[in-house]
Amino acid sequence: MNRWLAWGVLIFGVLYFILPLYGMAEFSLSMRRGVYSFDAYTKVLTDPTFQQTFSYSVMMAVFTIIFGVLLVVPTAYWVRLKMPEARPFVEFITLLPLVIPAIVIVFGYIRLYNTSSWLPLTGSVTGTNLLLMFGYATLSLPYMYRAVDTGLRTIDVATLTEAAQSLGASWATILARIILPNVLVAVLSGAFVTFAIVIGEFTMAALLDRPAFGPYMQLLGANRAYEPAALAVIAFAITWACMGLIQLVSRFSKHTKAQR
Amino acid sequence: MAFLELDNLEKFYGPVQVVKKFNLSVEKGEFISFLGPSGCGKTTTLRMVAGFETPTSGSIRIDGQDIVRLRPNQRNIGMVFQSYALFPNLTVAQNVGFGMKVARRPKAEIDARVKEMLGIIGLPDLGARYPFQLSGGQQQRVALARALAIQPQVLLLDEPLSALDAQIRVSLRSEIRAIQQKLGITTIYVTHDQEEALSMSDRIVVMHKGKADQVGTPVEIYNRPATRFVAGFVGTLNQIEGRVEDAANGLVIAGGQSLALGRRLEQSNGTSVALAFRPEALHRGEHPGEIGLTGRIAEVHFLGAVIRMKVDIGGTQVSLDSFNRAGADLPRAGDDVALSIAPGDVLVLGD
Ligand SMILES: Nc1ncnc2c1ncn2[C@@H]1O[C@H](COP(=O)(O)OP(=O)(O)OP(=O)(O)O)[C@@H](O)[C@H]1O
Ligand SMILES: [Mg+2]
């Protein structure tokens, strides 16, 4: 009895998840009347705007990840090592982006850094890109921080630090050679989540008027029939590839293989 | 002037003083143990030498240079931790070579030293392994090699063996001592295991509530403990409360009996003292030239080579060890016995 119920719930869940996906995939393949074809995909992939916006977003993602790692790893490390009592506070701060809508953040940015402000970041393309990257980093902060903090929990940060110090290592060396490699798997999983967020983000890029992938998807969705479905499938594939990579990476790191 | 000098070292955590007026001079190549119960400040003192804690006052000098101001990574002091603390992301060889790599030594030199170190610790073939592929004892040996590879001025070990099981502990103990003597490295070893301290050290510092109660060779510490605490903490010690009757002639009343110690006592007449002696110093029978006592046997434990008895002397139970001899009768509980002890084996402890 109980078991039937469990199976029923599972099947319902799978259908709930799969059916729309299936419908979308099916639709994206039906551009040519009567037969399945990849026409919609070819159209999307050969569109120069797609290529431009996608590579722009990938680049932004890479910079966001680098910035996020440089910001989060030393911070989480320091909090763990020197001010454990501040951890709940820092954790709270890193959770804020989940409750503050992106639109609020971006309006705040525009108000603070507009062309007539003390730091007119929005006045130049580089400045705006920088601003957008900060925004992305903020959005990914909850995931990045949590991932790194969890990674740090698996090693004895304090003792390893002292061991390295007694061997002559500076803070930078300790971070780069001991701490970062040991939380690399955690960092990478945070990085892939960041990647997925940046690729799909719409609000910030649109309001800062940057040619990112999110606004392009929205634009396409408003004007075309089959292409948006194809695009959505592509976006899905990218996200899943990221998830797969997380799994793969946690497997290929040698020193953690047999750890319990 | 000694090689390593701790001078009036003190440490407060807030209002709590954990290290008090700690003075110690260590000669080059000496092996010093800090011995004491949990919480007496051993680790804190060691960490001040390593630079992980800042002394509230006092100075630490190595080779005449005050190092209190130096950061831990500038002190060139090797450290071995109870939890091994090997870098999990590095192989054994990379772990051992880490300090030299940080110091930007040439690769050939690093490789040679790593090889030499792995040879010294008896694990020449395990360089390519990761720490998780080693047993606890092996990991601690690698940690030792890593600390020694930088050729530190001083080696510090904080209870390095207490996470290991008894058998490895004993064998690794003598191995560490042998390596230390071979390299002639000045070493401070923290332990709460008195057997470890007695068997390994050139000198022992017995610590109690943040103070160095006594500094001396293992023989001195065991045979001539300076305070009641040292006497009670190192080895088994019998204590009988007594009162000085005649200090000039060394007469003490204890357990209802008068004991002639045959030497002048520092304590004045009438002060209460404790008479202390080791279980193996007391024996049955009367021996000329020794102090005679009477007691009643309370318990007898046959341990094979040794017979351990509890004897009641005027209301105080003391332990007595004697060797087993074939053919001799085992004493029985309840027997009255004559006991004797050499006057020199009796310590008179004031408060
Ligand atoms: N960071 C700290 N803040 C406050 N008190 C501390 C701190 N570190 C140690 N103490 C206190 O200082 C005292 C000495 O500690 P220490 O670690 O030196 O003891 P220990 O002799 O090494 O003991 P054990 O044998 O248990 O390791 C203890 O009472 C401990 O509670
Ligand atoms: Mg300790």
> Could you give the 3-state DSSP secondary structure of residue A217?
helix
Contact criterion met (CB below 8 Å) for A201 and A212: yes
Classify domain B4-232 by CATH number: 3.40.50.300
Burial class from Cβ neighbours inside 10 Å (0-12, 13-18, 19+) for residue B286 reads: exposed
Contact B274, B321 (CB under 8 A): no
Of the candidates A162, A178, A258, the beta carbon closest to that of B87 is on A178
Among B202, B187, B180, B177, CA closest to B154? B187
The count of other CB atoms within 10 Å of the CB of residue A94 is 20
- Kindly state the average pLDDT of the residues A140-169: 94
In angstroms, rounded to a whole number, what is the distance separating the alpha carbons of residues A173 and B102? 8
Both tokens of B202, joined, read: 């050139």
Nearest residue of B to residue A257, measured between CA atoms? B132
Q: Under 8 Å CB-to-CB from B135, ≥6 apart: which residues? A: none
Indicate yes or no: CB of B150 within 8 angstroms of CB of A181. Answer: no
Find the ligand nearest to A158 CA.
1
> Span A39-259: which CATH code?
1.10.3720.10
Dihedral of CA atoms A162, A165, A169, A172 in degrees, nearest 10, equals 60
Dist. CA A100 → ligand 1 center (Å)? 44
- Interatomic CA distance for residues A204 and B159, integer angstroms: 56
Specify the CATH class of B239-349 in words: mainly beta
Q: What is the mean pLDDT of chain B?
A: 91
Torsion of CA B85, B88, B90, B96, to 10 degrees: 20
Assess whether pLDDT exceeds 90 at residue B104.
Answer: yes
CA of A246 to the centre of ligand 1 (A): 41
Of residues B73, B75, B81, nearest to A159 (C-beta):
B81
Q: Which residues of B touch A (CB under 8 A)?
A: 50-52, 71-79, 81, 83, 85-90, 98-99, 102-103, 130-133, 143, 146-147, 150
Q: How large is the angle between the packed helices A125-153 and A184-200, nearest 10 degrees?
A: 140
Ligand 1 centroid, distance to B41 Cα (angstroms) = 6
Given a cut of 50, whether residue A258 has pLDDT beyond it is no
SS (H, E, C) chain B: CCCEEEEEEEEEECCEEEEEEEEEEECCCCEEEEECCCCCCHHHHHHHHHCCCCCCEEEEEECCEECCCCCHHHCCEEEECCCCCCCCCCCHHHHHHHHHHHCCCCHHHHHHHHHHHHHHCCCCCCCCCCHHHCCHHHHHHHHHHHHHHCCCCEEEEECCCCCCCHHHHHHHHHHHHHHHHHHCCEEEEEECCHHHHHHHCCEEEEEECCEEEEEECHHHHHHCCCCHHHHHHCCCCEEEEEEEEECCCCEEEECCEEEECCCCCCCCCCCEEEEEECCCCCEECCCCCCEEEEEEEEEEEECCCEEEEEEEECCEEEEEEEECCCCCCCCCCCCEEEEEECHHHCEEECC
**Structural contact between residues A238 and A196, judged by C-beta atoms closer than 8 angstroms:** yes
Q: Name the pLDDT band for B351 (thresholds 50, 70, 90).
A: low
Ligand 1, CB cutoff 6 Å, lining residues: B 13, 18, 36, 38-44, 192
Write down the pLDDT at residue B84.
93
Residue span(s) of chain B under CATH 2.40.50.140 come to: 239-349
What's the mean pLDDT in B24-41?
94
Say if residue A82's pLDDT is above 60.
yes
Residue A10: other Cβ atoms inside 10 A: 10
Chain region(s) in chain B for CATH 3.40.50.300:
4-232
pLDDT band per the 50, 70, 90 thresholds, residue A151: very high
Average pLDDT over residues B205-219: 93
CA atoms within 13 A on the CB side of A122: 19
The length of chain A is 260
Q: What is the pTM of this model?
A: 0.84
Pick the residue from chain A with its C-alpha nearest to B92: A255
For residue range B72-97, what is the model confidence (pLDDT) as tens digits? 999 999 999 999 999 999 999 999 99
DSSP A179: I
For residue A165, the chain B residue with the least C-alpha distance is: B73
Decide the pairing of beta strands B154-158 and B257-260.
unpaired
A48-82 and A39-46 are packed helices; what angle lies between their axes, rounded to 10 degrees?
70
- Hey, which residues does B307 pair with through a beta bridge? B302, B322
Angstrom CA distances, A99 to A110, B175, B254, stand at: 20, 59, 79
* Residue range A227-248: mean pLDDT, rounded: 84
The ipTM is 0.83
- CA B46 to ligand 2 centroid distance, Å: 9
* Contact yes or no for B73 and A170 at CB 8 A: yes
Q: What is the pLDDT of residue A260?
A: 37
Min distance B133 CA to chain A CA atoms (Å): 8
Report the pLDDT value the prediction gives residue B289, as an integer from 0 to 100.
83
Q: What is the pLDDT of residue B326?
A: 78
- Give me the pLDDT at residue A78, please: 95
Residue A178: both structure tokens together: 């001991």
Instruction: Say if the Cβ atoms of A167 and B146 lie within 8 Å.
Output: yes
Minimal-distance CA residue to ligand 1 atom 8: B44
pLDDT digits (tens, 9 = 90+) for B286-314: 888 888 888 999 999 888 888 889 999 88
Nearest CA in chain B to A258: B132
Q: How many other CB atoms are there within 10 angstroms of residue B108's CB atom?
A: 8
Query: Hey, where are the domains in chain A?
Result: 39-259
The answer to whether the CB of B50 falls within 8 A of the CB of B187 is no
Mutate to test the interface with A, among B54, B87, B105 (most CBs of A within 10 A): B87
**pLDDT (tens digit, 9 = 90+) per residue, B318-334?**
998 888 887 777 888 88
Residue with CA at minimum distance from ligand 1 atom 12: B18
Q: Does position A259 have pLDDT exceeding 70, yes or no?
A: no
Q: What is the C-alpha separation between B127 and A111, in angstroms, rounded?
A: 59
Q: What kind and span of H or E run contains A251?
A: helix A226-252
What is the model's pLDDT at position B206?
95
Cβ–Cβ below 8 Å for A159 and B89: no
* Residues of chain B with C-beta less than 8 angstroms from the C-beta of A156: 83, 85
| Percent of chain B whose predicted confidence (pLDDT) is above 90 | 61
Q: How many Cα atoms within 13 Å fall on the side-chain side of residue B65?
A: 8
Give per-residue pLDDT as tens, A205-215: 999 999 999 99
Task: Report the share of chain A in percent with pLDDT over 90.
Answer: 56
Q: Are strands B31-35 and B16-26 parallel, antiparallel or unpaired?
A: unpaired
Q: What's the gap in Å between B187 CA and the centre of ligand 1?
A: 21
**B81 contacts A159 by C-beta, under 8 angstroms:** yes
**Mean pLDDT taken over chain A:** 89
* Helix axis angle, A48-82 to A125-153, nearest 10°: 50
Tell me what percent of the residues of chain B surpass a pLDDT of 70: 100
- Which residue from B11, B13, B159 has its CB within 8 A of the most atoms of ligand 1, so it is best to mutate? B13
